[in-house]
Amino acid sequence: MPTESTRLAAEHFLKNETAFHLGEMLTEQSHPITRTLSQTLEKNTADGIEMLLRVDDDIPPVADRVLASKEFAKLRADILDTLQRGGRIVFSGCGATGRLAILLDAAHRKFCANAAARFPEQRDFFTTLLAQTQAIMTGGDYALIRSVESFEDYISFGQRQAQDAGMGPNDCLVAISEGGETSSVIGTIHGALAAGSRAHFMFNNPAELLVRKVERSRAVITDARVNIIDLATGPMAVAGSTRMQATTIELLIAGLAFEAALADFLPGRLPEPVVRAIFPSGAAPEQGAARFRQLLRQIRSPENIRAMAAWVDFERDIYAKSGRITYFPDEYMLDIFTDTTERSPTFKVPPFRSTLEPDDPVSWAYVKEPLRDADSAWRRLLGHEPNCITWTPDDYRAMGAAERIIENPPKIDRERLATYRIGCEPDTSRTAVRPNAAIAFLAGAEMAHLEKRDEWHQAFERAAAGFERRAAILIGTRRPASNPLDEICFIEADMPESPLEIFAHLAVKLALNNVSTATMGKLGRLSGNWMAHVDASNKKLIDRSIRLVSELAGVDYETACHALFESLEEMSAWPESRRKTVSPSAHTVKRLREKNGAQ
């Protein structure tokens, strides 16, 4: 029997947390194209991948509209003016959009560092330009590798992170929220406005729906100081999985705006031959939607779909036997981090494990840098020393945090981040069970590592020496002439050169998102196009879990809510290692089905 406190907690969520009841949002609904996704994947992997990719067709028409809009023009102009003033463009986000914010900042820093090396006579200019971007991720850079429970529920936390970033009148905030209602991201907007910064808000639900239904969204969307960029494309391929179409169009639009502003900024400040070398394709941002359509056509070619299906089946077979995969990338480590980290809350698989958690389950997939130790790998990954949070109980109390957070503040500082071995240090947990595989993940020009047998390739061979299998996943315009590794997958895709390498990141993202989603579907982690094993680590995910229980167990929202809170109470007594691998929603559906079957 549920306790009185559990009943009251469920009633509180039903009556007092209606701001987090988000079932009317398009991003939380079921897409008609993928209603039978799990069943299709079970029958034929390639057909399931083709079904997933069809949803990306929702993106180009919206991109066409946005790229021609006055809102996009203002974003481009404000970024240009910020660069001219010597200010910073600060990207903010949470979860998938937080990782996108970090990727945009890191891509800019990588461009500047590479340009300084390529054009040494312009080193001072690019060194200054490098410092003109920053990322604010809810929970700090620690959240790149591990979700920080409940942080996104607080507007005050986002305000404080904007304050800690030292935002001022010369800076420009580009806040990105898939749903348009994420409290912490909205908090960064309030923080930026209070500091006199310009503010832009990019999201994926219709603005008029957010204004009508969500008060915290209304407060910033109707503020004349905030430039609103509505990117609503419709439901996601997997209901609520905004790591897919939502962040894809956000990467496309934010990236094109920044590159367009750079194209406006650099002429006159650099010699013409340098500018031509930086923008070899000369494509205008207005052509971005057409280039994205071309990329979609390439990705969904029959050959590429067969290649991705082989990749899915390879990973599914390893995970089904309790095996482990470790990716070894070069330049696209951050992209793989984003995808692998997001698998944990989406599909309730074990998160990345710290060295302080030797008894916890080992993550199915992991990412390691073969050439550098962990500290160096973190700095290369981000383009700077990690920005982590060290708030005290008094800080949390002043921000109105829940008592449980005040009493036990999350350990998300730099020291804790260092306990994740993402470098070339040996990690026997990756090879302790079989099957296991070391995967070289290479895209574009870096595939030449396999032909040249260069320093990177030698480092990979050393790092992969203890693995049962060594293989390669390759994305680019042509296969290497020679490849000493087994090839799991080659995806042919154009990657036109540009400062932020937007279309290269998009190609990698599309491949990773669709492969990881299909793999989890093959492992029973989807029901139709619903996340059957979603976590419930914040208020938005609690609501999503309740709606999932309602859908799959055939009960109303109120019944599902009480049942979910009963499961959360029951699971609180479980060992932590078990809680990290069992989804409260899946456990609740199972209980309700067993109960109804017994009646």
SS3 call for 493: coil
- From 19-28, 59-68, 372-381, 461-470, the region with the lowest mean pLDDT: 19-28
Q: What is the pLDDT of residue 146?
A: 86
322 Ramachandran zone, left/alpha/beta (phi>0; psi -120 to 50): left
3-state secondary structure 243-297: CCHHHHHHHHHHHHHHHHHHHHHCECCECHHHHHHHCCCCCCHHHHHHHHHHHHH
Percent of the chain with pLDDT over 90: 75
Say if CB 525 and CB 532 are below 8 A apart: yes
Say if CB 431 and CB 463 are below 8 A apart: no
Residue with more model confidence, 6 or 57: 57
- From 299-303, 389-393, 429-433, 581-585, the region with the lowest mean pLDDT: 581-585
Angle at 434 between CA 308 and CA 326, to 5 degrees: 50
Percent of the chain with pLDDT over 70: 99
Q: What is the pLDDT of residue 283?
A: 66
pLDDT of residue 240 exceeding 60, the answer is: yes
pLDDT of residue 281 exceeding 80, the answer is: no
Question: Residue 225 corresponds to which amino acid?
Answer: R
345 Ramachandran zone, left/alpha/beta (phi>0; psi -120 to 50): alpha
Tokens matching residue 376: 């160096």
pLDDT of residue 541 exceeding 80, the answer is: yes
Which secondary structure element, helix H or strand E, spans residue 91, and what is its range?
strand 89-93
Identify the band that residue 291 occupies on the pLDDT scale cut at 50, 70 and 90: very high
Query: Highest mean pLDDT range out of 140-149, 298-307, 476-485?
Result: 298-307
pLDDT of residue 599 exceeding 50, the answer is: no
Tokens matching residue 434: 């079989």
Question: pLDDT tens digits, residue range 161-197?
Answer: 999 999 999 999 999 999 999 999 999 999 999 999 9
Say if CB 533 and CB 586 are below 8 A apart: yes
Which secondary structure element, helix H or strand E, spans residue 531, and what is its range?
strand 530-531
d(C-alpha 446, C-alpha 450), whole Å? 8
Peptide bond into 350 cis (omega under 30): no
Question: pLDDT tens digits, residue range 54-95?
Answer: 999 999 999 999 999 999 999 999 999 999 999 999 999 999
Q: What is the pLDDT of residue 25?
A: 85
What string of DSSP letters covers 352-407? P--TT-TTSPPPSEEE--SSS-HHHHHHHHHTSS-------HHHHHHTT--HHHHH
pLDDT of residue 256 exceeding 50, the answer is: yes
What's the chain's average pLDDT? Answer: 93
Q: What is the pLDDT of residue 535?
A: 79
Average pLDDT on 198-209 reads 97
For the entire predicted model, the pTM comes to 0.92
d(C-alpha 481, C-alpha 229), whole Å? 44
Average pLDDT on 430-456 reads 95
Average pLDDT on 277-298 reads 87
Question: pLDDT tens digits, residue range 131-152?
Answer: 999 999 999 999 998 888 789 9
pLDDT of residue 273 exceeding 60, the answer is: yes
pLDDT of residue 547 exceeding 60, the answer is: yes
d(C-alpha 8, C-alpha 443), whole Å? 52
